[in-house]
């Protein structure tokens, strides 16, 4: 698989790149960013995958996430995919709503027409893009972790729970922990996967834990001033599910913080240091 370099910039001694490729999974061109920290020639480095939230592209965290200084210090590759397929022939929400369709792929493989043709983000972020990155960057495939924000927090936690042997760590900022129970998730899962709620369970963090999925532990930050906290995010459901399943969870409620990248960038360094501890060796 070949990639096209869109841009590269030197940052903290490493290289921040943006790349494009033709995706077999989505049937579209896809753009993603990769930060490679300074490293010795021939070294293979641990990689942190970052899944973004509703309305985002790869660019939001790349431009606002403030991750490069910590990644350079810790020797971490940081990969940020897009959130959905894009292009003039890609179907979106009929009413151009922000929470479905373009920018809102929800990290599932759609089975419902017309979305099943392009919206195969689960396959993209768990299979196609990891292979592409491994072929083109100095990644140590045995040392991977995943994190995300909001819809991407949902994606990160479900990816980790369904691939516990691939990922050593998983964390999230303001994740949608029970999409089967909240408006954002109900709309997306119905539209992409149909009305059978049993099928939704494999893309619902709380449901996966209830059904026996395990992981080594999670770090989750939520902002107490987040307008979506009570209706869409519901971190208390994750807390209860992890407690019942004996899955370690560090849930931090940050006073005064909202849903924005001001919140994410403030605690990004904490998360990356937490990941780095688990990616050593």
- What is the distance between the alpha carbons of residues 184 and 162, in angstroms, rounded to a whole number? 22
Overall fold of domain 4-279: Rossmann fold (3.40.50)
**In sequence order, which residues have a C-beta less than 8 Å from that of residue 57 and are 6 or more positions away?**
31, 82, 83, 103
pLDDT at 281: 73
Domain map (residue ranges) of the chain: 4-279
What is the enclosing helix (H) or strand (E) of 197? Answer: helix 197-200
Catalytic residue among 99, 109, 204, 226: 226
d(CA 90, CA 101): 9
Catalytic residue among 203, 259, 271, 275: 259
Chain centroid to CA 98: how far? 18
Helix (H) or strand (E) holding 252: strand 249-254
**In the annotation, is 226 catalytic?**
yes
> Distance between CA atoms of 58 and 80, rounded to whole angstroms?
5
Q: What is the pLDDT of residue 205?
A: 98
The per-residue pLDDT for 1 is: 73
Altogether, the residues listed in the chain come to a count of 281
Strands 249-254 and 77-80: unpaired
Q: What is the mean pLDDT of each run of 10 residues along the chain (281 residues)?
A: 94 98 98 98 98 98 98 98 96 94 98 98 98 98 98 98 98 98 98 98 98 98 98 98 98 98 98 97 73
Q: Considering only CA atoms, which of 261, 264, 253 is closest in space to residue 230? A: 253
Catalytic residue (one of 23, 33, 84, 150): 150
């Amino acid at each position: 698989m070949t990639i096209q370099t869109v841009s590269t910039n030197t940052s903290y001694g490493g290289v921040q790149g943006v790349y494009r490729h033709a995706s077999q999974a989505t049937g579209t061109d896809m753009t993603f960013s990769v930060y490679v920290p300074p490293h010795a020639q021939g070294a293979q480095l641990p990689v942190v995958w970052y899944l973004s939230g509703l309305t985002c592209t790869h660019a939001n965290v790349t431009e606002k996430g403030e991750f490069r200084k910590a990644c350079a210090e810790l020797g971490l590759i940081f990969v940020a995919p897009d959130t959905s397929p894009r292009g003039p022939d890609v179907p979106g929400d009929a009413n151009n709503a922000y929470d479905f369709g373009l920018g809102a792929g929800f990290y599932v493989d759609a089975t419902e027409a017309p979305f099943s043709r392009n919206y195969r983000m689960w396959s993209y972020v768990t299979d196609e893009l990891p292979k592409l990155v491994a072929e083109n960057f100095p990644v140590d495939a045995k040392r991977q972790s995943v994190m995300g924000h909001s819809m991407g927090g949902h994606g990160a936690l479900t990816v980790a729970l369904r691939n516990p042997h691939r990922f050593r760590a998983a964390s999230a900022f303001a994740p949608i922990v029970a999409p089967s129970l909240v408006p954002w998730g109900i709309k997306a899962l119905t539209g992409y996967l149909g009305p059978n709620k049993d099928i939704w369970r494999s893309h619902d963090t709380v449901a996966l834990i209830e059904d026996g999925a395990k992981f080594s532990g999670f770090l989750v930050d939520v902002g107490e001033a987040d307008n979506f906290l009570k209706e869409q995010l519901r971190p208390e459901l994750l807390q209860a599910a992890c407690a019942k399943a004996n899955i370690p969870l560090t849930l931090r409620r940050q006073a005064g913080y909202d849903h924005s990248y001001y919140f994410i960038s403030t605690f990004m360094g904490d998360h990356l240091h937490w990941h780095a501890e688990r990616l050593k060796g």
